[in-house]
Amino acid sequence: MLSTSKVSQPGRAFSDVSFFNKINPSFSHGLMDKDDREPSFFIVRDDLLHPLINGNKARKLDGLIPLVEDHSVTHVVTCGGCQSAHAAAVAVSCSERGLKSHLLLRGEQPEILTGYNLISTIYGNVTYVPRSLYANREMMLKSHADYLAGSIGSVIWFDDILKASLSENDGALSFLQKDAHRSDHPRKIVIVNEGAGDVVALLGLIRLVQYLSQNHILGKERPLKLVVDAGTGTTAVGLGLGAICLGLPWEVTAVMLADTIDGYRSQEKRLISDFKRHFGLQIDHCFDEIDRGLVHWVERCHPRKFGNVLEGEVEACQHIAQQTGILVDPVYTLAAWEMSMVLREQEAEGGATVVMLHTGGTLGMFGLAQRYKSYFSNLKAGLSN
């Protein structure tokens, strides 16, 4: 739980704000201790879920990787940017399970491998793809998968595995598994879309909501405002689906970072439609609520082109880290932190409890340090007392 002794203007470096991290908050009788007079918000430390994989990436793969294993896949092909957290997550997750990963990264190899790029290179098989070819992702992924398969292997899109796993047609499953026990172990290659932003990614987020709603954690009765940063928006939609399907009085607030509100609403509708198609029988009791919308999409306190860092934000991350022991990054999680501060001021007098989901992003700081050298060089002087 984070308490602050002074309100800062959103987007500022927080130099006028004193943070206090209460690592053992009381979750009984209304969640907040009665003697907590300062505005505060809670943080779900999903950044600590895995030492190398972002929390939100691990959640998205929670439902995907088991299906890949069940269908005797040997190789996984996916793509992402040079510093793709998704690609790194796939590489590590595959290695942990004895699978081979093939990562198509946009652009050129950096002079110094660091951050997610370094992890992807260590754990996976990286190929750098010119931006002109990367523009047609579907063709790029299929072409590379076909090359890996050769004449004896097989290629399938993950969406087809999902459909087969949910199908009652045993023939479909047999078709996918027919080569599983061949003595020569032919390659079975699955293609996973960029960001793993498919419907199966929602399952891991729903499971997270179910876990958090246990009585000894956040509970099922108290109103919450759950804050998350939004890249593709898949994490936010998954949290919203979980809250509605479980009948929780939770409102999901997603800080838009990479698209317009129309783009995020379109993504929300697409994911809802896919979820209904695949899992409709399990959630037909809450269709009306789902159709009214799952997520409250909001602008970042200081909007900018996705991926850009503003002056003072690196120092803000340093200030937060030194006072709380919690590391946020200026591209993603700092935005959720700022919004949590805004909402906790609005809800200070008996309103909903504000909870920030820390999705991770630590390794992303290394790539940013290469790109924004001048901003990070300012850290050498440290912070004044």
**Could you list the active site residues?**
84
Kindly tell me the burial class for residue 273, based on how many C-beta atoms sit within 10 Å of its own C-beta (0-12, 13-18, 19 or more).
exposed
From CA 349, how far away is CA 345, in angstroms rounded? Answer: 8
Residue ranges of E strands in 283-327: 295-299
CB neighbour burial string for 114-126, b if at least 16 within 10 angstroms, e if fewer: bbbbbbbbebbeb
In single-letter form, the type of residue at position 190 comes to V
Q: In what order do the strands lie in the sheet with 75-80?
A: 125-129, 100-106, 75-80, 188-191, 154-157
From CA 10, how far away is CA 13, in angstroms rounded? Answer: 9
C-beta atoms surrounding 379 within 10 Å:
13
β-bridge mates for residue 165, sequence order: none
C-beta atoms surrounding 314 within 10 Å:
24
